[in-house]
Structure 1
């Protein structure tokens, strides 16, 4: 299950419930936590915790898990690649960790108006909040931004963050580093790995 959910928010209870509903196997959440711990100890998985970007603290039980060896992940999935974005996110996460960054999933709440004008709390997420020494980066990762809706969805959290931390959108295309009209960095994966993940 973790293999096909790379980069998705998970917790042990959610995984245990999936085993029960899909495979009709009763596994308690402590067993799931134990196995995740074994996978981490065996250097198969890394864990990214949620970090409140406004309150500056770790939050919640949900985590994202990334495979250290994506080849093992791919073999487990019989080399079927359902989501290019998941693989790209896994690569960016691994490179940041390899190069000494502390990497979390950025999360923050905002209050917005719904279509009826009622105030609602909205959860927002940035794929990665990476820090190394005094350097901090917000990083969104996507396979493609040729679709306007995809580009807007990926950049939307950045408009809600009013700080001076560099905001980067990594794309799986040969795009040279550039600043868009809002001051956000858009860069292809190759250039990102050569310039930022070191």
Structure 2
């Protein structure tokens, strides 16, 4: 690795970093700024991690060092080049004590260097686009030395802050304001929250993002040679998200010999934050593992651009959106299924604490009663007194056998 190349990369990145200031303040734990631990921010590619780093840097008074390893000029950068990088930083900016490393998972064995930086009294922020880096890379070398948070594409509130922040200071039940919020919600429901796509509407850029995730974060990182099988698996999930499936069924669909291969592939997709799966809640962990799983996508806008749908799928889009929002809120999520179904049950300390049903529209009284009954079955199974049904635009309170069910419009729940 050449010093002059590093100087050029650092200077170029610093310039573009300053030019690309984000207009929406991302949510971030305030205590992370002052904590002595290494701060690790993970999330899918292009969800706004670099923008968040910029916002953190802007809020700090001290000078610092920054580099983004998602740069083709740094493809040959190895762990033993870090010392050279430090020398270049010192030559350019003098000695500083705060480091920002973007997309550090591109450097093998990076955690050894980061540990040394931390142990010598430096403050370190890093980002990565792979969930596995929190377990595999950090488990041995950085245990007890880091704080982590996961970043997702824009929440609905962040989406509104970008599109029309004025409405958040208004009475949401004022006719004109509510109409604007509902319109924004339908935009968000169908187009998702990837920051660049929301700002530009560039469909090609969103599809290119998917190709980069598939190729760089999934296939190359995991040395996958059978591209066809991975593409078919993603295509199936993109057309059948928020639905149940088993690994055996999926093996037959994509043409692999055994379910263990499918399980491995799904793990790779999950590591890249492209898809997530939920288990059926059961007191037996083995039964949780054996039962069919529900699969969800990171973003509605992305899944609509890579999937095939020949009918209105607003119901599944809403369920997918609610699932991602629950993840964003740090919830541990399962589904309930006995005689009836409930979309989500939330678990804390091995106890179900809340049940949520999602129904886009009550198209008939029969549909409404079916959704209520599914929620009530879950509430009775786990001795819950309160439950929630999230809809497109219905608001109501129901009491059934001393159990309270709130029916809320999704836009109100999200805000």
Q: Could you say which TM-score interval applies, normalised by the shorter chain? A: 0.7 to 0.9
Select 1:164's aligned residue among 384, 387, 406. Answer: 384
SS in 1 for 2:278: strand
- In the other structure, the counterpart of 1:115 is none
Change in 2 beyond 3 A, CA 1:38/1:132? same
**Mean Cα displacement is larger for which, 91-100 or 81-90?**
81-90
Give the structure with the higher percent strand: 1
Q: What is the rounded CA distance, in whole Å, between the counterparts of 1:167 and 1:62 in structure 2?
A: 24
Change in 2 beyond 3 A, CA 1:56/1:11? closer
Deviation of 1:8 (Å): 0.8
- In the other structure, the counterpart of 1:180 is 398
Deviations 1:53-85 (A, max 9, x none): xx4766233111111122221111257664111
Unaligned 5+ residue runs, structure 2?
Answer: 1-235
Deviations 1:86-126 (A, max 9, x none): 10000000001111111111233xxxxxxxxxxxxxx3221
Change in 2 beyond 3 A, CA 1:30/1:131? closer
SS in 1 for 2:242: coil
Q: Does 1:129 align with 2:345?
A: yes
Change in 2 beyond 3 A, CA 1:144/1:104? same
Q: Does 1:103 align with 2:321?
A: no
Q: Does 1:4 align with 2:225?
A: no
Q: What is the rounded CA distance, in whole Å, between the counterparts of 2:256 and 2:244 in structure 1?
A: 21
Change in 2 beyond 3 A, CA 1:124/1:146? closer
Change in 2 beyond 3 A, CA 1:135/1:192? farther
Aligned residues: 171
Larger Rg: 2
Deviation of 1:36 (Å): 0.8
Q: TM-score, normalised by structure 2?
A: 0.38
Runs of 4+ in 1 over 6 A off after TM superposition: none
Q: Does 1:147 align with 2:364?
A: yes
Q: Higher relative contact order at CA 8 Å, sep ≥6: structure 1 or structure 2? A: 1
- The 8 Å contact of residues 247 and 262 in structure 2, kept in 1 or not, is answered as yes
SS in 2 for 1:2: helix
Q: What is the rounded CA distance, in whole Å, between the counterparts of 2:308 and 2:392 in structure 1?
A: 23
- The 8 Å contact of residues 137 and 167 in structure 1, kept in 2 or not, is answered as yes
Select 1:28's aligned residue among 255, 258, 270. Answer: 258
Q: What is the rounded CA distance, in whole Å, between the counterparts of 2:238 and 2:271 in structure 1?
A: 17
Give the structure with the higher percent helix: 2
**C-alpha root-mean-square deviation of aligned residues, in Å?**
2.4
Q: TM-score, normalised by structure 1?
A: 0.76
Deviations 1:116-164 (A, max 9, x none): xxxxxxx322100024578822011011014111101111123334223
SS in 1 for 2:245: coil
Unaligned 5+ residue runs, structure 1?
Answer: 20-24, 109-122
- In the other structure, the counterpart of 1:85 is 315
- In the other structure, the counterpart of 1:193 is 414
Change in 2 beyond 3 A, CA 1:65/1:51? same
- The 8 Å contact of residues 96 and 130 in structure 1, kept in 2 or not, is answered as no
Change in 2 beyond 3 A, CA 1:165/1:94? farther
